[in-house]
Amino acid sequence: MLAKIVTIGRNSLKRHNFSVMAEKALLRFKEKDYQKQSESVRTWCAAHAMSCDDFMRSLDLKLYEETQAAAAEIERHCRLKLSTIELDLGGGGNYPLLYFLVRYLQPENVIETGVAAGWSSQAMLTALAKNDGDGKLYSSDFPYFRYEEPEKLVGFVVDESFKSRWRLFIEGDKFNLPAIMKETGAVDLFHYDSDKSYSGRRFAYETVRKKLSDRAVVIFDDIQDNFHFRDFVTAQDVPFCVFEFEGKYIGLTGSIVKDA
């Protein structure tokens, strides 16, 4: 335990790390009231949830079948890579859905927040590589500071062959997203899976919003944590979908909802 505390302390002194970690801690305190809404939020999510498989089938049955095979290979690849280390880097988001969407939308630019081991990154990069184009993935994350050299663990499972089309930023969304906005063109897919706070989600969307294309799809993971997604779709007055995945909920909105 002492060694872990020392490691966290040493890593926190690197560049912007301390300010990012302090801000995260402050947000948890400021938004503690949202935690009291968890049961109500889950009830809302469950009431609106639909089958993700049915959603994908309704858009493109052949692509859905391709996705099933691709997802199995992505899982095999990630588990094999993770078996080489004895660290808990967390799981991935709904990577089959992300693979499907990248193949369906054929985007030039994709942005994701929250990388961890890189399951979602691997899925989207696999799909981008299969597409007929030069699509790129821009990823924002913040390292796990309980481990030594945590920067090297972000996106650990991502295949080396994909890294030419991958831009990884690891100083936290507050610094990463403005930097990404300076590099990327129009964004057709935005996947949010980082800071679970209400204000963190709001900041990320408002930062990326200016680059979202007319056909952009926006996904928020872990929407059961607070009412951000409900408030977001209500304020925007847009159609949306909610999917359950491994006991958690995902919210999706964008032009694709009308196609399903």
Reported as a single tens digit per residue, the pLDDT across 113-162 is 999 999 999 999 999 999 989 999 999 999 876 667 778 899 999 999 99
List the pLDDT tens digit at each of the 260 positions of the chain: 444 433 444 444 455 555 665 565 555 655 565 556 788 999 999 999 999 999 999 999 999 999 999 999 999 999 999 999 988 887 778 999 999 999 999 999 999 999 999 999 999 999 999 998 999 999 999 987 666 777 889 999 999 999 999 999 999 999 999 999 999 999 999 999 999 899 999 999 999 999 999 999 999 999 999 999 999 999 999 999 999 998 999 999 998 997 66
Domains of the chain: 2-259 (3.40.50.150)
pTM for this entry: 0.87
Can you say whether residue 237 is alpha, beta or left, with left for phi > 0 and alpha for psi between -120 and 50 degrees?
left
Strand-pair category, 240-245 with 49-50: parallel
The H or E element containing residue 109 is strand 109-113
pLDDT at 138: 98
Strand-pair category, 240-245 with 248-254: antiparallel
Q: Which residues pair with 241 in a beta bridge?
A: 252
Contact 226, 74 (CB under 8 A): no
Residues 176, 174: Cα–Cα separation, whole Å: 6
Mention every residue, 6+ apart, whose C-beta is less than 8 A from residue 183.
Answer: 138, 167
pLDDT at 150: 77
Q: Which two tokens stand for residue 99?
A: 């693979």
62 burial via Cβ count (<10 Å: 0-12, 13-18, 19+): exposed
pLDDT at 92: 74
Residues 181, 175: Cα–Cα separation, whole Å: 11
Residue whose tokens read 């995260």: 24
Contact 125, 137 (CB under 8 A): yes
For residue 67, the one-letter residue type is T
pLDDT at 57: 97
How many Cβ atoms are within 10 Å of 246's Cβ, its own excluded?
Answer: 8
Q: Which two tokens stand for residue 12?
A: 């926190």
How many Cβ atoms are within 10 Å of 7's Cβ, its own excluded?
Answer: 16
pLDDT at 145: 65
Residues 110, 217: Cα–Cα separation, whole Å: 10
